[in-house]
């Protein structure tokens, strides 16, 4: 099986879907001549031409709206935001048009569009360019939200998102684009709304998504050296949320820690913790713990930047708390 980077997996997904369906096209800042800010669209302009790989002005509200209009007209656009931080400017188009059009038309109008780009803390980017906005998208009915953490999942989920008849928001991460992993050469899809158990265990359930997965798996390996058998669930999709997999794991381990790069209030982690507490209350041996970014804007100082994010130490401390090992 080939070993490729996260960005190469995304590139393969887009390339394969553009070759399969002439209605698929990509637009965004620098996706053509510059091959994308993170080189996800490398080579696509030369292969498919400027009518299907479209460089746009720095105007997120405008080109996101153009993409939504094209989707309503029957095309399948992929809108690349240079970062989800800039997508804040396009929220009106996504929330009030893309997410609601099927509902407001009584099911007559579908909006098959993908919005994708890096989300979450990066490095040395301070408070305006280094934050997780997952909760904003997860909050909106009518949107689907996926957040793959591996090249394999990124390719399979992006291909499913492109083929979906509803708008899909895809959360990537700047620091993940160079991460490598095995990706099969044959075609495959990963269904939206299905979590993956990345590590089997029986003592505690660790739940996460996107970039923190690598940290959580490292913590699980270190816990194993201490005789603690942690199960790791990668949500992969935030909306719809695979609560069946979450609840089944918690009913086995009776303890849960949710790890999330978003701020704590109204976060994906806080919703997952609430859902577990509501549905598995009688099965729990300890309250559900969440490990999130601290409730502050991202600092520029690198030491402080790392201090506000979930860390191995914070996750280990939360595990110790639910296991009453403090």
Given 16, 30, 129, 279, which residue is catalytic?
129
Distance, CA of 19 to CA of 110 (rounded, Å): 22
Three-class secondary structure of residue 67 per DSSP: helix
For the chain, the distance separating the N- and C-terminal CA atoms, rounded to the nearest angstrom, is 43
- What are the helix (H) ranges across 206-309? 212-225, 243-253, 268-279, 302-307
Going by C-alpha positions, the residue among 177, 109, 326, 150 that lies closest to residue 235 is 150
Given 8, 17, 29, 60, which residue is catalytic?
60
Three-class secondary structure of residue 259 per DSSP: strand
Catalytic residue flag (residue 254) = no
Catalytic residue flag (residue 174) = no
Token pair for 65: 């709206």
Distance, CA of 226 to CA of 223 (rounded, Å): 5
Distance, CA of 185 to CA of 120 (rounded, Å): 29
Which sequence positions are flagged as catalytic? 60, 129
């Amino acid at each position: 099986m080939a070993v490729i980077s996260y960005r190469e997996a995304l590139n393969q997904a887009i390339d394969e879907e553009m070759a399969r369906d002439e209605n698929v096209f990509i637009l965004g800042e620098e996706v053509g001549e510059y091959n994308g800010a993170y080189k996800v669209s490398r080579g696509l302009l030369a292969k498919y031409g400027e009518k299907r790989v479209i460089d746009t002005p720095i105007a997120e509200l405008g080109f996101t709206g153009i993409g939504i209009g094209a989707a309503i007209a029957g095309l399948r656009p992929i809108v690349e935001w240079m970062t989800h931080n800039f997508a804040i400017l396009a929220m009106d188009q996504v929330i009030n048009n893309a997410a609601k059009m099927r509902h407001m038309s009584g099911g007559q109008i579908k909006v098959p569009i993908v919005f994708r780009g890096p989300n979450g803390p990066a490095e040395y980017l301070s408070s305006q360019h280094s934050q997780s906005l997952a909760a904003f998208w997860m909050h909106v009915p009518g949107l689907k939200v996926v957040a793959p953490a591996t090249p394999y999942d990124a390719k399979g989920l992006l291909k499913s998102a492109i083929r979906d008849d509803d708008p899909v928001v895809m959360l990537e991460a700047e620091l993940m684009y160079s991460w490598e992993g095995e990706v099969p050469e044959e075609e495959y899809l990963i269904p939206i709304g299905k979590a993956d158990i990345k590590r089997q265990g029986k003592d505690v359930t660790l739940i996460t998504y996107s970039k923190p997965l690598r940290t959580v798996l490292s913590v699980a390996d270190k816990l194993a050296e201490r005789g603690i058998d942690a199960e790791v669930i990668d949500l992969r999709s935030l909306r719809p949320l695979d609560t069946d997999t979450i609840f089944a794991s918690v009913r086995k381990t009776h303890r849960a820690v949710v790890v999330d790069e978003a701020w704590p209030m109204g976060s994906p982690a806080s919703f997952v913790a609430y859902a577990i507490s509501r549905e598995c209350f009688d099965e729990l041996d300890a309250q559900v713990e969440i490990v999130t970014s601290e409730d502050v804007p991202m600092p520029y100082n690198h030491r402080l930047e790392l201090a506000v994010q979930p860390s191995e130490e914070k996750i280990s401390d939360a595990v110790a708390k639910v296991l009453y090992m403090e």
